[in-house]
């Protein structure tokens, strides 16, 4: 009988490198790897490594455009920030990786998909649930969840099997894509200790940021960022460019005690320079263009949306419904926002929208005021009616 083929999601790190051999041994399978670039990945180098370790084939995909267009920007429009802190970079990447895994598994005739996630994180849930949603017939194998080795035992296995170990040996576990960098483990596990400078890679410490502020104008159309300082850019370039300038100004560091889906609280540190700036700018434009009720409702949806993404439910009818609502809210979210980036903070200092709801005539205290001040008397008489009634009958106006 021909050997079974397993498709392995391969990052080139120690875990997935060891997975190649472990799958060959335990499952007596042909292992094909797939490496996905969602930003900051050297595909060719990782491909060579997979082949060197013994993969029968090593596939790659540049997913950067799909990622920004179909995952990052919809989440930006939704205002999706988990627990008001985390712009969800890792969480948004996982369903797309799962989608590519399923496509590749079909192409190479694999009956199972394997990945290097551990058994206590969110990522295993996101990948397993996403693969299940797209291809319920495919088996999912998570060797790291099964083998139960500590780091020393894993390195021991790697050495025994001639797997080259890259001695970069960071104290931290990191994951990165265009939307951000996630950093965990090492001394970050002590919630009292300040993240050390070498945990960060994309953002300057305040001491190294420019003395002068950087101003930037970001234009949006229907909720989508289109240009920076008047220069139209492809979405991937726009995000990359913004990561650069905002990171230089020390913007985007996040230190979060996070509620994982698997019931653990964990200390997570993130860098998301473009994420922080774009969310702030987008929100500012919505403040100009959505009615109060729309804005209030959208806030609730944002929370639901971020939980849905965080919890691995991307490929669901629920997400499509939320997306439809969000898309509808963006009809007039067109205009420009001016931000000032300086010493780690990003401040919105200006906004304009051709179909904005802000009316200077109504808002002004100067000449040209068209607001009918006298009409407020009648409004207040009725608005305050139940309050007066309650005081008269129950004496509840002031605490006794």
Give the C-alpha separation, 306 to 286, whole Å.
18
Give the C-alpha separation, 20 to 7, whole Å.
10
Closer residue to ligand ARG, CB minimum distance, 258 or 271? 258
Closer residue to ligand ARG, CB minimum distance, 123 or 286? 123
Active site residue 69: no
User: Contacting ligand ARG (CB under 6 A), which of 52, 85, 161, 173?
Assistant: 173
| Torsion, CA 18, CA 23, CA 25, CA 26, rounded to 10 | 120
Does residue 271 belong to the site contacting ligand ARG (CB under 6 A)?
A: no
Does residue 90 belong to the site contacting ligand ARG (CB under 6 A)?
A: yes
Active site residue 145: no
What letter does residue 80 receive in the DSSP assignment? -
Burial category of 265 from C-beta neighbours within 10 Å (exposed 0-12, middle 13-18, buried 19 and up): exposed
Could you tell me the smallest distance in angstroms from the CB atom of residue 268 to ligand ARG?
Answer: 5
Q: Which residues contact 172 (CB under 8 A, 6 or more apart)?
A: 183, 184, 185, 186, 188, 199
Q: Considering only CA atoms, which of 155, 202, 154, 146 is closest in space to residue 174?
A: 202
Stretch that binds ligand ARG, among 47-55, 174-182, 206-214, 339-347 (CB under 6 A): 174-182
- Annotated catalytic residue: which of 94, 181, 267, 351? 94
User: Contacting ligand ARG (CB under 6 A), which of 6, 72, 91, 326?
Assistant: 91
Active site residue 173: yes
Residue with tokens 């040209």: 368
Answer whether 253's CB lies under 8 Å from 243's CB. Answer: no
Q: Per the structure block, which two tokens stand in for 28?
A: 């007596």
Stretch that binds ligand ARG, among 103-111, 161-169, 173-181, 341-349 (CB under 6 A): 173-181
Binding track, positions 238-267, relative to ligand ARG; x by CB under 6 A: --------------------x---------
Work out the number of other CB atoms within 10 angstroms of the CB of residue 269. Answer: 19
Answer whether 78's CB lies under 8 Å from 302's CB. Answer: yes
Does residue 176 belong to the site contacting ligand ARG (CB under 6 A)?
A: no
Does residue 175 belong to the site contacting ligand ARG (CB under 6 A)?
A: yes
Q: Considering only CA atoms, which of 167, 158, 57 is closest in space to residue 105?
A: 57
- Annotated catalytic residue: which of 37, 69, 173, 255? 173
Give the DSSP H/E element, type plus range, for residue 183.
Answer: strand 180-184
Give the DSSP H/E element, type plus range, for residue 204.
Answer: none
Closer residue to ligand ARG, CB minimum distance, 150 or 328? 150
Active site residue 94: yes
Binding track, positions 178-217, relative to ligand ARG; x by CB under 6 A: ----x-x---------------------------------
User: Contacting ligand ARG (CB under 6 A), which of 268, 335, 337, 342?
Assistant: 268
What letter does residue 287 receive in the DSSP assignment? H
Stretch that binds ligand ARG, among 8-16, 169-177, 207-215, 245-253 (CB under 6 A): 169-177
Q: Per the structure block, which two tokens stand in for 381?
A: 């008489």
Does residue 122 belong to the site contacting ligand ARG (CB under 6 A)?
A: yes
Answer whether 223's CB lies under 8 Å from 335's CB. Answer: no
Active site residues: 15, 94, 123, 173
Binding site for ligand ARG (CB under 6 A): 90-91, 122-123, 173-175, 182, 184, 258, 268
């Amino acid at each position: 009988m021909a050997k079974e083929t397993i498709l392995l999601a391969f990052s080139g790190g120690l875990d997935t490198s060891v997975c190649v051999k472990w799958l060959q041994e335990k499952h007596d399978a042909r292992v094909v790897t797939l490496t996905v670039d969602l930003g900051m990945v050297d595909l060719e180098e990782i491909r060579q490594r997979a082949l060197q370790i013994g993969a029968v084939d090593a596939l790659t995909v540049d997913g950067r455009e799909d990622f920004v267009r179909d995952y990052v920007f919809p989440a930006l429009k939704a205002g999706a920030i988990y627990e008001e802190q985390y712009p969800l970079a890792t969480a948004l990447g996982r369903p797309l990786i799962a989608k590519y895994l399923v496509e590749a598994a079909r192409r190479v005739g694999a009956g199972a998909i394997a990945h290097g996630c551990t058994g206590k994180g969110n990522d295993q849930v996101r990948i397993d649930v996403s693969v299940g949603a797209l291809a319920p017939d495919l088996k999912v194998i998570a060797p790291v969840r099964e083998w139960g080795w500590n780091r020393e035992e894993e390195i021991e296995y790697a050495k025994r099997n001639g797997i080259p170990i890259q001695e970069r040996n960071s104290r931290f576990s990191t994951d990165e894509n265009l939307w951000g960098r996630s950093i965990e483990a090492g001394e970050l596990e002590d919630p009292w200790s300040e993240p050390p400078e070498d945990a960060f890679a994309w953002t300057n410490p305040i001491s190294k940021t420019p003395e002068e502020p950087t101003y930037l104008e970001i234009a949006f159309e229907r909720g989508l960022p289109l240009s920076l300082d008047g220069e139209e850019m492809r979405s991937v370039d726009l995000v990359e460019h913004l990561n650069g300038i905002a990171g230089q100004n020390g913007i985007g560091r996040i230190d979060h005690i996070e509620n994982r889906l698997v019931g653990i609280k964990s200390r997570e540190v993130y860098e998301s320079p473009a994420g922080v700036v774009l969310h702030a700018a987008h929100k500012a434009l919505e403040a100009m263009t959505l009615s109060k009720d729309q804005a209030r409702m959208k806030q609730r949806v944002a929370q639901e949306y971020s939980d849905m993404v965080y919890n691995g439910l991307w490929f669901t009818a629920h997400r499509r419904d939320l997306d439809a609502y969000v898309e509808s809210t963006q009809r007039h979210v067109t205009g420009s926002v001016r931000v000032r980036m300086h010493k780690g903070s990003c401040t919105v200092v200006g906004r304009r929208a051709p179909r904005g709801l802000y009316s200077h005539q109504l808002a002004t205290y100067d000449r040209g005021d068209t607001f009918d001040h006298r009409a407020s008397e009648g409004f207040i008489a009725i608005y305050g009616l139940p309050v007066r009634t309650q005081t008269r009958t129950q004496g509840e106006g002031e605490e006794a």
